[in-house]
């Protein structure tokens, strides 16, 4: 039986949907992926620059390290109530040039930021980096299937993330990994300071001038741009997957799908001994070759002038052919 004459049933449709999702996420280069890479780079650069140009000089002036080290000598044990100092990566600032209220700036990394920063590493190993975004945007209940995937993502992030990122992520979640596991020893000193134990970061509001205030706002914008870029990536990919799933659900024959998924036979093999029962997904070797050829085509596209790129209209996003 010719592949394009194959009649679809529920099992075949599910296998097609699964392969299409993998094709969209891992084999289809899109502008939103480049936008996320830029957002990641901007986040890391702006975070370091703001720490060096704002936090360090203001903290050196307000809470000199020499004084804090002397004060820390009187700390007794690890209890918050028996310590004169604490380590903090959270700071409050109030501008001296306007009547604006004070604002909080954190150098810890929350869950959404962490998954955005390591999106491509997670996807490469078969994890859905946008899992939380999808459940949040679609208002789905977090069932056991979600928790299993989420735990797998967390474990993988702990194994591949840098010591600094892992430590700042642990601090954001309320505990450091080095306190919970002997497998990790994370150093957050690059983005933390010794401060007086005065009742939390809000009790240590510091005044800053206009230049410092604008730099802090740039850092806050870089944080939001990172998570927004990750959310937009999910939105574009999700819409593409949803559109094709609708076509697959309505299709009677593979040829009906092939009208919109023209290289379906490059992604799915139909040469099976029992074609009436299942679709056979291509081998890992074939997938690797397809992945390599896709990378070659992508490189060629990047070297072409922008005016010769063709945007495929797909309801709100552009995909370069």
Q: What is the pLDDT of residues 5-52, one digit of tens each?
A: 788 999 989 999 999 998 888 888 889 999 999 999 999 999 999 999
DSSP 105-119: EE-S--HHHHHHHTH
Q: What is the per-residue pLDDT across 204-257, written as a single tens digit (0 to 9) for each?
A: 899 999 999 999 999 999 999 999 999 999 999 999 999 999 999 999 998 888
Q: How far apart are CA 113 and CA 223, in angstroms?
A: 8
pTM for the structure as a whole: 0.77
Q: How far apart are CA 98 and CA 164, in angstroms?
A: 35
Query: What Å distances lie between residue 52 and 58, 77, 172, 195, CA to CA?
Result: 10, 31, 21, 17
Distance in angstroms (rounded) separating the CA atoms of residues 130 and 241: 14
Cα–Cα distance for residue pair 290/211, rounded to 1 Å: 50
Closest by alpha carbon to 232, among 114, 310, 130, 321? Answer: 130
pLDDT given for residue 189 in this prediction? 87
Alpha-carbon distance 290 to 75, whole Å?
60
pLDDT, position 39:
98
In this structure, the number of other CB atoms found within 10 A of the CB of residue 53 comes to 14
């Amino acid at each position: 039986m010719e592949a394009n004459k194959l009649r679809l049933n529920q099992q075949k449709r599910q296998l097609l949907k699964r392969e299409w999702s993998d094709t969209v996420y891992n084999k289809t280069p899109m502008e939103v992926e480049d936008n996320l890479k830029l957002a990641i780079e901007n986040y890391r650069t702006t975070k370091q620059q703001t720490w060096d140009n704002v936090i360090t000089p203001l903290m050196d002036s307000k809470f000199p390290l020499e004084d804090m080290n002397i004060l820390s000598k009187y700390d007794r044990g690890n209890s918050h109530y028996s310590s004169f100092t604490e380590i903090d990566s959270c700071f409050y600032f109030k501008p001296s040039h306007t009547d604006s209220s004070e604002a909080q700036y954190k150098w810890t990394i929350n869950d959404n930021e962490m998954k955005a920063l390591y999106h491509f590493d997670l996807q490469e190993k078969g994890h859905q980096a946008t899992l939380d975004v999808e459940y949040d945007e679609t208002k789905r209940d977090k069932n056991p299937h979600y928790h299993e995937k989420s735990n797998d993502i967390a474990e993988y992030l702990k194994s591949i993330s840098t010591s600094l990122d892992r430590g700042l992520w642990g601090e954001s979640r309320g505990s450091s990994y080095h306190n919970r596991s002997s497998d990790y020893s994370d150093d957050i000193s690059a983005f933390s300071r010794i401060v007086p134990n005065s009742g939390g970061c809000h009790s240590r509001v510091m005044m800053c001038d206009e230049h410092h205030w604008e730099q802090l706002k740039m850092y806050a914008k870089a944080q939001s741009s990172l998570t927004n870029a990750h959310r937009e990536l999910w939105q574009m990919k999700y819409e593409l997957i949803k559109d094709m799933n609708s076509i697959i659900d309505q299709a009677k024959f593979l040829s009906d799908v092939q009208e919109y998924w023209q290289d379906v036979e490059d992604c799915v093999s139909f040469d099976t001994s029992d074609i009436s029962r299942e679709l056979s997904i291509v081998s890992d070797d074939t997938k690797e070759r397809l992945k390599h050829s896709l990378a070659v085509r992508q490189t060629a596209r990047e070297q072409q002038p922008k005016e010769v790129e063709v945007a495929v209209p797909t309801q709100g996003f552009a995909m370069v052919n």
